[in-house]
Amino acid sequence: MKNILITGGAGFIGSHLVRHWVKTYPDTMVVNLDKLTYAGNLENLKDIEKMPNYVFEKGDIVDSELITALFEKYHFDGVIHLAAESHVDRSISNPMEFIRTNIVGTVTLLNAARAAWNGNFEGKRFYHVSTDEVYGSLGDEGYFTETTRYDPRSPYSASKASSDHLVRAYHHTYGLPVVISNCSNNYGGFQFPEKLIPLVINNIRHRKPLPVYGKGLNVRDWLYVGDHVQAIDLIYHQGQNGETYNVGGHNEKQNIEIVKLLCRLVDRKLGRSEGESESLITYVQDRAGHDLRYAIDSHKLATTLGWQPSVTFEQGITLTVDWYLSNEEWLRNVTSGDYLKYYEKQYGDRL
């Protein structure tokens, strides 16, 4: 049996990836390492927590003793590194936490992998999952490619850019077998409701204000989380060492478009007059250093590995709205903090 470490596996993208890996690769032991901060929720994985090829380990990726011990315990063949502080607003108010987790934590993992594999890299892989925000901001035209110059504009994106550079440096300096992917904005079920789409869905349901930065004209490329997971699987198994792959959804939307679309969809599904919730839209002071537009060119991933998104934005956003409206208890637990009780109940003294 192969052993793989997935960091941040109790988070939004991580939980989708862990579930996929556990169900798709029964001959692989999946070790989910998560610190269980505010965005890490083990309720996301209730359906697979008893599977024989899954184990959860609570811990911080900056804890070098813990990381070394995990490598010694499980003899990992691979690492998929998703654990990160990821919310831009939080990085503006507390940048040091992002430096600690996203930079120091990544180097801690790199050092542990390098020491454990000790030059014997056959069948080994370190996969670093990053973001399109490292490239900065686009104008009205053009796309980010894998060769776009880095130009991060927030403490979050700067910390991710730093970690990308360090992963590449360990490949070039030590020969560590690495791949990197930079993805656009993900959406789907299990996303912590501080992010735009789940926040708006939840607020519409409860008739709360829908905050929109500035005039809502900032453009993002939206990627359905299930398609991202498929891309990660493909890159992990077939990507070329030392290469970077951009993963985009081919769905550019202004923030205000997203909010108004959600108003129409949620209102219709709740039996309200379609679009009546648009009256809840509240324009707020723009975020400091708010990038105007992100757009990903996934041509390399499509031509070299054959990946394409499997759902349209219309399909994906409908699936997402349906998920949140059908999982009110999950949302209530997350927004109230009650999901913390699940950890205590399931894991007791382990936490």
Catalytic (active-site) positions = 132-133, 156
The whole-angstrom separation of Cα 183 and Cα 129 is 8
> What is the rounded end-to-end Cα distance, in angstroms, of the chain?
27
The amino acid occupying position 250 is H
Task: Kindly provide the residue ranges of all beta strands, DSSP E only, lying in the chain, ordered along the sequence.
Answer: 2-7, 28-34, 54-58, 78-81, 125-131, 178-183, 185-187, 210-213, 219-224, 244-247, 252-254, 281-284
Q: Which two tokens stand for residue 288?
A: 């400091």
The residue count of the chain comes to 351
Q: How many CA atoms lie within 13 A of 351 on its CB side?
A: 15
Question: Residues with Cβ < 8 Å from 305, sequence gap 6 or more?
Answer: 234, 235, 238, 239, 245
Residue 81: strand pairing partners:
7, 128
